[in-house]
Each structure stands twice: as C-alpha cells, then as structure tokens.
Amino acid sequence: MALRFIFKIFDFYKEGFKNLTLGKTLWKIIFIKLFVILIILKLFIFDVNFKSLYKDDVSKTNFVIQNLISKEN
C-alpha cells in the first residue's frame, strides 16, 4: 500500500513536469548548480579532514586532548 502511494506521488510529479518548457531548463540549472556545489567544491576545497591531518590514533587522541584542555576556547 505504501509503495502504491509512492508511485502515485511520482506519477503526479512526472505528469506535472511533462508539459513544462521553461521549468525543465530551470531544473537542469538547479541540478548543475547542486552538482558543482556539493561535488566539485567538496573535492577541491573541503578536502582536508581529520583523517588526512592525523594518520594514527595516537596523534588524533593527542589533538583532541590538547583542544579539550586548552584555555583559549
């Protein structure tokens, strides 16, 4: 029953977008922008993470301990 409801929702949106001309172009632009923001920027700008900075568990632990007990926060 829930699967049937999901298919009805999908068909509703499919029929609604079928007759659009400007809407399809706008949706393509939205998806391209999302792709650029989420994928390309993630790969090249936000590449630094905790695993890449500290390779072993000891250095990760030391980093966390030093930041927890520092008085600058």
Instruction: Reply yes or no on whether the pLDDT at 73 is more than 60.
Output: no
Q: Helix, strand, or coil here: 41?
A: helix
Percent of the chain topping pLDDT 70: 92
pLDDT of residue 63: 85
Domain containing 44 equals 1-71
Answer with the residue of higher pLDDT: 47 or 68. 68
Q: Per the structure, how many domains does the chain have? A: 1
Position 59 pLDDT exceeds 60: yes
Share of the chain above pLDDT 90, in %: 14
pTM listed for this prediction: 0.43
pLDDT of residue 32: 92
Q: Which amino acid is at 68?
A: L
